[in-house]
Amino acid sequence: MAFNIPASHLPRVIIIGGGFAGLNLARGLKGAELQVVLIDQHNYHTFQPLLYQVATSGLEPDSIAYPLRKTLQKHDNLLFRMAEVTRIHPESNEIETSIGKISYDYLVIATGTKTNYFGNDALEKTAFPLKTIQDAFDLRNLMLQNLERALLTTDVSQREALMNFVIVGGGPTGVELAGALGELKRHILPIDYPELDLRRMQVHVIEATDRVLPAMSREASEGACRFLKDLDVNVWLNSPVETYDGHTVKLKNGNGHKDLRTDTVIWTAGVHGDPIPGLAPEAIAKGNRIKVDQYGRVEGHTNLFAIGDVSLMCDDYYPHGHPMVAAVAIQQGRHLARNIRALLAGKALTPFSYYDKGSLATIGRNRAVADFKRIKFQGWFAWVIWGIVHLLYLIGFRNRAVVLLNWVWNYITYDRGIRLILKNLDSRKVDDQIGRVFDQQREIG
């Protein structure tokens, strides 16, 4: 296989990654005197902030995904190739991919992050991440299948393990997922599963620090914790996870330990950068992020850039790097597009300056927390603002319309109509988890 890229006298910019950073960079280079090549392992962009709603039957996967070719179809100077980039060769201005090699004049790495298990191999094998559409799809299947299996077992302990859900990580993804599960437990599952005593279903959020949403204000953390408890979610603070063997989570809680029996652990406790092999070791900083200057250039290079979550750009206000959020990636993508245009015109580059528009997190129906520069608030109004912001960030009119209609329907009816168990043959972790459950049931008798 080969790229089959047409020859051009124009400088070639290769963008690796079609996330928030890469996509906004590609958009910003529309009409420039460049040949732009966007490479991604998938042919779609994922709106990751709403993955938890796919996992909890609130939305279908195609509601938060958008084809890259469609969103860039009017960009005459852009080509898309679906491939995995395996290595960078900065010395020869080439990259290796699963479909061959290609040279570049400018290279931009926007590969985002991967789930960080902090070196715990056991957790990586047994816990579920929530980073991709496939993860959300697998998680929805597993949770619904476990509830179906809870109906079949006569062992009370095993039934409770199937009905217990442990979320490791009290950041935005963790609290939003917990809130959604709390809503399911309160409004939907009692109707779907009247034979189950849903009072025994437990949702746990485990956080290693002293508060949930540690990146937000203390007021937001306290509000989120209050909302979670209103939904009967158990919150464990200062409780790092030690092990999970597929059946029991062991926490370090105070001076002692706590065991939680569960067949479903969801890992939202952290991510790290996803750089591509080929960069010098000194270019990779803590958290696997690529060190860049104020213009997004990788240290030691003039035509190699990194933006978004994979990059580490430090300044006086962010001495440890910008937060790994969508707003930073979007702004960095747009800013680098302007700087590349400046390079072509022989003009000076401008340093990146992040404008923090605020932070939001929702915890179920009518409950959210909001942090803005001059004001902090919680409750219904914050929930409305959260919804508006997320609709605006979605790509495509259809996706916005579908998500809005789903939200309105769910709000009016207290229902979520996408409770489908769809077998996925490639989902090995789901199959392994289900296999463990069957083994236990056989042992029981």
User: CA dihedral in degrees (337, 48, 260, 151; nearest 10)?
Assistant: -170
**Cβ-Cβ contacts under 8 Å for 48 (sequence gap 6 or more):** 131, 326
100: left (phi over 0), alpha (psi -120 to 50) or beta: left
CA distances from 294 to 17, 94, 289, 355 (A): 21, 24, 15, 14
> Which of these is catalytic: 91, 94, 160, 176?
176
**Tokens describing residue 376:** 């902090």
Write the DSSP string, 161-179: HHH-EEEE--SHHHHHHHH
Q: Give the residue among 94, 93, 81, 77 at the shortest CA–CA distance from 30.
A: 77
| Residue 94 DSSP one-character state | E
CA distances from 411 to 44, 194, 365 (A): 29, 22, 8
**Tokens describing residue 164:** 């217990």
Q: Considering Cα of 312, then 314, then 319, then 321, what sign does the dihedral take?
A: negative
Catalytic: 282? no
**In 3-state terms, what secondary structure has residue 259?**
strand
- Do 110 and 273 form a contact (C-beta atoms < 8 A)? no
Write the DSSP string, 28-67: HTTTSSSEEEEEESSSEEE-GGGHHHHHTTSS-GGGSEEE
Please, what is the end-to-end C-alpha distance for the chain in angstroms?
Answer: 54
Give the integer Cα–Cα distance in Å for 262 and 14.
45
**Tokens describing residue 105:** 């004049």
Buried b (16+ CB within 10 A) or exposed e, 27-56: ebbeebebbbbbbbeeebbbbbbbbbbbbb
**Tokens describing residue 28:** 């910003």
Give the integer Cα–Cα distance in Å for 72 and 63.
18
Active-site residues, by number, are 176
